[in-house]
């Protein structure tokens, strides 16, 4: 009985794998492969919104030049105010972009500025030492 079952199974298997394949007529289905599209990571630095300004005014989006500091340079501070920590110094004639402000502290108007060549270099600078480049 066991030998008969094995023989029948072998004959059936041989027949199954040796019969000609019949392809259905018409278009063949196409496989669709779904993939996840990476979501862009938002940048940590906001892009400043330019504010229309007159030639003698400063505002967000205005490029400024450091003036009147002599050899000392302009202190870029962690917060608006003369007692805030100095985190960098901008050289006389250096160009910066205003990206925030203004704030008034310690008798000065302060603007949040950024070095466009090095976006990690940013902080608060006193308006007295900033001038539009025109």
pLDDT at 53: 45
Answer for the pair 112, 100: CB distance below 8 angstroms, yes or no. Answer: yes
pLDDT at 42: 60
pLDDT at 132: 85
Q: Counting beta carbons within 10 angstroms of the beta carbon of residue 94, is it exposed (0 to 12), middle (13 to 18) or buried (19 or more)? A: middle
pLDDT at 12: 62
Answer for the pair 77, 83: CB distance below 8 angstroms, yes or no. Answer: no
pLDDT at 105: 94
Instruction: Give, for all 134 residues of the chain, the pLDDT tens digit.
Output: 666 666 656 666 666 667 666 776 777 777 777 777 776 666 555 555 544 444 458 899 999 999 999 888 999 999 999 999 999 999 999 999 999 999 999 999 999 999 999 988 999 999 999 998 66
List Cβ neighbours of 78 (8 Å cut-off, separation of 6 or more). 84, 85, 86, 87, 123, 124
Query: Strand, coil or helix: what is 115?
Result: strand
Q: Tell me the whole-structure pTM to 2 decimals.
A: 0.59
pLDDT at 51: 46
pLDDT at 71: 81
pLDDT at 31: 72
Task: Name the token pair of 117.
Answer: 């060549």
Cα 118 versus chain centre, distance: 14
Q: 8 to each of 4, 13, 16, 21, how far by Cα in Å?
A: 6, 8, 12, 22
User: Scanning the structure block, which residue is given the tokens 């005014």?
Assistant: 57
| DSSP structural state of residue 134 | -
User: Phi/psi zone of residue 90: left (φ > 0), alpha (ψ -120 to 50 degrees), beta?
Assistant: beta
Residue ranges and CATH numbers for the domains of the chain are 63-131 (2.30.30.40)
């Amino acid at each position: 009985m066991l030998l008969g079952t094995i023989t029948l199974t072998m004959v059936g298997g041989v027949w199954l794998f040796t019969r000609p394949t019949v392809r259905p007529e018409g278009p063949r289905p196409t496989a669709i492969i779904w993939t996840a599209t990476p979501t862009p990571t938002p940048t940590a630095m906001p892009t400043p919104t330019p504010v229309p300004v007159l030639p003698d005014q400063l505002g967000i989006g205005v490029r400024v030049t450091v003036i009147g500091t002599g050899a000392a340079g302009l202190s870029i501070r962690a917060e608006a105010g003369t007692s805030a920590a100095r985190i960098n110094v901008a050289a006389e004639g250096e160009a910066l972009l205003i990206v925030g402000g203004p704030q008034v502290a310690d008798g000065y108007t302060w603007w949040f500025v950024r070095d466009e060549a090095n976006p990690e270099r940013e902080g608060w600078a006193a308006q007295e030492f900033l001038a539009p480049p025109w």
